Structure 1
Amino acid sequence: MIDIRFGPQVCGELNTGATREWLVPDGRGGYAMGTVSGLRTRRYHGLLVVAGETPATRRMGLVGLDPAVTLPSGARVRLGAHEWSSGAVDPRGFELLEQFALVDGVPRWRWRIGDVVIEREIAMAHGRSCVAVVHRLVSGGPVRLDLAAACTWRDAHGERRADGPTPRMEPAAGGAVVEGAYRLAGPDWTPEGQWWLGVRHREEAARGLNPDEDLWYAGRFAGALERPGDTVSVLAWADDLADEPPAATALVEAARRRNRDVVAAAKPADPVEATLALAADAFVVRTAAGPDVVAGYPWFGAWSRDTMTSYEGLLLRTNRADEGRELLRAYAATLSEGMLSNTADTGRVEYNTVDATLWFLHAVSRHVTVTGDTDLGDELLPALHAVIEAHLAGTRYGIAVDPADGLLTQGGPPDTALTWMDARVYGVPVTPRTGKPVEVNALWVNGLAGLAELTELTGRDATALWGLHTKASTAFRKRFPAPVGWLHDVVDAPAPAYPLGGAPHHDDDLLRPNQLLAWSLPYAPLEPDEATLRRITAGLFTPLGPRSLSPDSPGFVGRHRGGPAERDGAYHQGTVWPWLIGPLVDAYRRAGLPTDDLLVGLEGHLAEYGLGSVSETAEALAPHAATGCPFQAWSVAELLRVRRAG
């Protein structure tokens, strides 16, 4: 894996150390997460974040363990870090950090106080809501280490205040059980019980959200570090509270071994691919219903569009086809009226995308092509044919095949946004794409051909499917090229002067990256076009991937900042989306153009924001600061996929 480590000039400066984040997942959708500096900058940062029945229903448990060292001289040095609602940052333990490193995916901090050096490592037990925090004396001593346990029990998206009920604490061997939900265990536990008022999260303030909460100081652990190699460790776990996990040091070593095994199983060609293989592992989780994909950390759950777009990179390019097979079967069981369910982060199951089902067709086709698993193709074939039939007949939200040209049209009530550009502000879509979007129809053409080939593999007749494919691809080649020198983003869109469903239509020729799928997919409707691709690149490309709208277009927003309305308004109006590097590279390769230079910025980004991973989004204007989730599934998946395919 690539070497990710920082010295005191990064660790000790809030503008650098507090903007780089680490993630340790538990394989179930829960995690531990924080910053290089140790300062919690998000409401989502904590040592034990517990997934519920689905990854979306997470709760924050153990927030932090603040270390304080008593030196032989009797001086007490605090190594933690908090920002308060007053704006003060106290304590400032990051100023004593001499190094942060990711070692086989395990974060390690190294504080130096004169000749005393102490390391901290954090790992989670894979498949269990359990975190291990190990402190080790590296040099100097003897010293005493105190660890103050800051706790809560709340929805991961919210906050808890002192004006509500006091957390319920029950004694347990070596520590306590908090709110009957999770248990703490370690050496020399002393219960305390006090609110820490006004802890501030600067990233939430920047996002226009409530930045403050109160934390419960539940108590402290303590132990002596007399000679180098001595450890003081704490465990926290939220499942089967009576079943004590293995020793914390053993869990850390087990996490390292597993991470090395995950990387080895992926057979990476170089350290970048090894890093991406481990990053991909964070998103593949196992729930009570089977394997699933977390769209992004720290706030997303499972979304079918993200899952299917990410499928090949996360599961096939990492040699996890057995899990992929199980996942595809489970998702197929959710099909209704020809549409794949979209499990919302609210916990509701909804059917509200036009493209997730088409990405599902693509994922199944790629699975069978890459693995040769024709048995799965044969098993799912009736469901896949039912998808086509439902789209021909028409399904929810006006999704239907236009009998005149064989292209797929969509658009329900004015407040719906069914493509991946689905941001809404005050209930109104920011990028309304009612009509026939270009990537939706590229996926439709691709899906028809992929299903036709799959049908023939099983010995069935695919004449009707090839007929639909020919009609749609012929219409695509006729309808989508625009006089401006690239493809229309939407054709047959309702004209602005007319209500939804009104008579006249217009074709939207704003320069967006959605058209890349018209050249990138395995059964893409268009042949490579170097001149067009170069125009698109000139207008959209940044070091972190394509912009969602060219800077000279009306409505372009260069910065992805502010409150929810401002951020959602910019989300698809220029903001960079790293996942689109996949379609861009594929299109370039099909055109015979060089691609290595397209990946340099994203490879460097692996040590800039979400460490060892790729962010959800970035700003459209230089220096293209990363935004959104620091750890995003389809961003990682597409970068890994095109690197491994090159």
Structure 2
Amino acid sequence: MLSIPASILQNYNEAISHEWLETNGLGGFSSSSAIHCHTRRYHGLLVAAVIPPAGRMVLVSKLEETIVSNGQRFELGVNDYGAVIHPKGYNYITGFTKDLFPEFNYEAAGIQLKKTIAMVHGENTVLVAYNVTKAPQPFTLELLPLLAARGYHSLQHANGAIPHQVLFDNNTLKANAVQGTPGIFIKVPGSTWQPNTGWYYNFHYNIEQSRGLDYIEDLFTHGRFSVPLQQGDSLGIVISTDDPLNKNAHDLLEQEKMRRQALLKDQADNETLQQLLLAADQFIVKRGTGSEEGATIIAGYHWFTDWGRDTMISLPGLCLATGRYEDARRILLAFASTISNGMLPNRFQDNGEPPEYNNVDGTLWYFIAIYRYLQATNDQAFVITRLLPVLKDIIDWHYRGTRYNIHADDDGLLYAGETGYQLTWMDAKIGNWVVTPRMGKPVEIQALWYNALNIFAELLALNDQPADAALVRNSAARAKESFGKIFWNTNGNYLYDVIDEQGHPDATLRPNQLLAISLPFPLVDDEKAEAILSIVTEKLYTPVGIRSLSPDDSRYTGVYEGDPYKRDSSYHQGAAWSWLLGPYIDVIMKLDGSGKKALTVINNFLYHLQEGCLGSIAEIFDADKPHRPKGCVAQAWGVAEILRVIKEYRLLEK
């Protein structure tokens, strides 16, 4: 169980650095800081995915709570209004824990309340349960819903678009927030309703301000609920886009509890793995409806949708290491139908626009994901029948040439790049400026290409095509030979990062070369692998991730901060990436199979589960100490790769 003590929760600046996240398997979520003071535009009690997993909207931002006892009012909420923090409900919070769900403990006027927040899997529904563990006398709990009713990337400001009329019946409020948005239902058993419409102004979101973005919002209310309570009472609230007429919050909470416990059935004695398994569950979501319903992976919360590259890197850790083979199968099949000109989409957009295909590596990671699926399940019939024809089409397009000048070159290696496009995972772009263009032959693309060819050859052999398999193996061998001739940096004793479009080597020290060792079919021998591991450990390793650039480089940026321009220009120029610990540990295990060094890496990392978004793993970290978490608070491939290597190498059993 993860926990935050009262000493931190009652220190405002410390408390707001901790966050919690609930998700619903649709792309929707509920999230805030540990004291319910919103610090991001993405924080909200009900953030619904209207077109799963996209079309996300912050519908209900907050549910402000006030205890009324003996004529006194104790406001439990916390809001940043810029010049003032009001109310200061963090003075009443005595503890926060994260086990199956986030739970909050409050004490005021001798009354002790435990609050649990949970999202219902497969619904745009959030549950809020209050248990009165102690109360010297009966009291009233007032609840003030504050609505944002907006797209989750935007902010709301006072306007006349939100209808003031609501319906309150059977303890349930129904509000039509804005035309074209879902209705909002709030069911509070045993409550009375006092209408009082109006705006609350100037909520400040300090993280948005620090990111150089607009950060002030207004929220709307229709009025407030009042509920009489006493010791021993339990109040269950349902907040949903669907009518909760026949739904009971406590029943739904118990069902969700059982669903999550089932995910942990094989890890009853390991709390670290339990939290990672719960974190993994948050990224696997539905895509599509009806007969076309498939599955995909949200790249990161709060603002990413599903990306081809992130999905394929994450699939082994989120699905295979957790035994969720059917989810893996559905994801692989769903992406097979999206391939165009031999390419997987780079990302799906929020509002139904066509997918973007500006990547070279996501398609190649698809081969790795399929290969690991086959290793985990031995599901040859599915792979050969449904996926091999797709892989053949991809290989053919890469030899023929596809978008962005992606093609197999005369030396057997893969060339990629056009001016103005970012095609690898180092994909930051500011206007027309590609920060790390890496046109030509990036080192990790060659590793992925070599692996794709070998995997394709193995599948052809499984399909009784030995002659075709031999031809592809010859192509792979040619690529490996060419790689060996041009990629080794003799002076630095490591691999060049890119051979550019003029054939010039780039000696920038980056972590991409790890993939030339870590993937199933390595491109370098043990001696060179040892040299690479040594310099990566010396210059790039941090306890929470691998730096994207050596501190010796003049472009190195140790702290990721500032406005969008400053942040994007430093995104891959030093920031430490959590997902790269996976390939780093793979290399350690290939060179030292005992697991002791790898276990040390994991143990050095685990403190992070207690900071930032509790129980999950941040996207990036400052390259310099103290390596503060930055970027998305919960990132799929970070969780996936840590979970994968722990399970694959049984590190927590050593």
What interval of TM-score do these two structures reach, taking the shorter chain for normalisation?
over 0.9
Aligned residues: percent identity? Answer: 36
Query: 1:123-146: per-residue Cα shift (whole Å, max 9, x none)?
Result: 111101111111221112311110
Q: From 9, 12, 15, give the equivalent of 2:10.
A: 12
1:199 aligns with 2:199: no
The 1:554/1:506 distance shift into structure 2, 3 A limit, reads farther
Decide whether the 8 Å contact of 2:494 with 2:531 is kept in 1.
no
Q: From 449, 457, 460, give the equivalent of 2:454.
A: 449
Query: 1:297-317: per-residue Cα shift (whole Å, max 9, x none)?
Result: 111111010000101001000
The 1:57/1:563 distance shift into structure 2, 3 A limit, reads same
Distance of 1:316 and 1:169 partners within structure 2: 49
Secondary structure at 1:101's aligned position in 2? strand
Secondary structure at 2:607's aligned position in 1? helix
Q: From 16, 29, 41, give the equivalent of 2:39.
A: 41
1:175 aligns with 2:173: yes
Q: Which amino acid aligns with 1:415?
A: G
Q: Which amino acid aligns with 1:444?
A: W
- TM-aligned CA deviation for residue 272 of structure 1: 1.3
Decide whether the 8 Å contact of 1:169 with 1:176 is kept in 2.
no
Aligned counterpart, 1:110: 105
Secondary structure at 1:337's aligned position in 2? coil
Aligned counterpart, 2:478: 471
1:83 aligns with 2:70: no
Aligned counterpart, 1:278: 278
Aligned counterpart, 2:372: 366
- TM-aligned CA deviation for residue 244 of structure 1: 2.9
Decide whether the 8 Å contact of 1:54 with 1:301 is kept in 2.
no
The 1:145/1:293 distance shift into structure 2, 3 A limit, reads same
- TM-aligned CA deviation for residue 50 of structure 1: 0.5
Decide whether the 8 Å contact of 1:354 with 1:399 is kept in 2.
yes
Distance of 2:16 and 2:642 partners within structure 1: 25
Secondary structure at 2:58's aligned position in 1? strand
Aligned counterpart, 1:209: 213
Decide whether the 8 Å contact of 1:57 with 1:345 is kept in 2.
no
- TM-aligned CA deviation for residue 525 of structure 1: 1.3
Q: Which amino acid aligns with 1:89?
A: I
Secondary structure at 1:100's aligned position in 2? strand
- TM-aligned CA deviation for residue 178 of structure 1: 2.9
Query: 1:246-271: per-residue Cα shift (whole Å, max 9, x none)?
Result: 2112222222221111122x657732
Aligned counterpart, 2:124: 129
Decide whether the 8 Å contact of 1:224 with 1:232 is kept in 2.
no
- TM-aligned CA deviation for residue 164 of structure 1: 5.0
Aligned counterpart, 2:401: 394
- TM-aligned CA deviation for residue 338 of structure 1: 0.9
Q: From 333, 336, 350, give the equivalent of 1:329.
A: 333
TM-score using structure 2 length: 0.93
Distance of 2:174 and 2:404 partners within structure 1: 52
Decide whether the 8 Å contact of 1:56 with 1:300 is kept in 2.
no
Secondary structure at 1:162's aligned position in 2? coil
The 5-angstrom pairing of residues 549-588 of structure 1 reads 549-588=549-588
Secondary structure at 1:518's aligned position in 2? helix
Secondary structure at 1:470's aligned position in 2? helix
Q: From 506, 514, 521, give the equivalent of 1:523.
A: 521
Q: From 620, 637, 640, give the equivalent of 2:640.
A: 637
1:147 aligns with 2:143: yes
Distance of 1:507 and 1:234 partners within structure 2: 61
The 5-angstrom pairing of residues 301-312 of structure 1 reads 301-312=305-316
- TM-aligned CA deviation for residue 601 of structure 1: 3.2
Distance of 1:371 and 1:87 partners within structure 2: 58
The aligned length equals: 625
Decide whether the 8 Å contact of 1:619 with 1:625 is kept in 2.
yes
Aligned counterpart, 1:608: 611
Kindly report structure 1 stretches of 4+ aligned residues shifted beyond 4 Å. 266-269
Decide whether the 8 Å contact of 1:7 with 1:99 is kept in 2.
yes
Q: From 419, 431, 435, give the equivalent of 2:436.
A: 431
- TM-aligned CA deviation for residue 220 of structure 1: 1.1
Q: From 485, 496, 500, give the equivalent of 1:488.
A: 496
Query: 1:556-606: per-residue Cα shift (whole Å, max 9, x none)?
Result: 111100111111011000001000001000011111162112122321101
Please list every run of 5 or more consecutive structure 1 residues that lacks an aligned counterpart in the other structure: 495-503
Secondary structure at 1:191's aligned position in 2? strand
Q: From 20, 23, 26, give the equivalent of 2:21.
A: 23
Aligned counterpart, 2:652: none
Q: From 389, 407, 411, give the equivalent of 2:413.
A: 407
Decide whether the 8 Å contact of 2:164 with 2:222 is kept in 1.
no
Aligned counterpart, 1:498: none
Distance of 1:574 and 1:82 partners within structure 2: 34
Aligned counterpart, 1:501: none
Aligned counterpart, 1:385: 392
Query: 1:504-553: per-residue Cα shift (whole Å, max 9, x none)?
Result: 43111111000000000011212232232111110100010100001011
- Structure 1 range deviating more: 29-38 or 175-184: 175-184
Decide whether the 8 Å contact of 1:152 with 1:167 is kept in 2.
no
Decide whether the 8 Å contact of 1:121 with 1:252 is kept in 2.
no
- TM-aligned CA deviation for residue 619 of structure 1: 0.5
Distance of 1:103 and 1:391 partners within structure 2: 47
Secondary structure at 1:286's aligned position in 2? strand
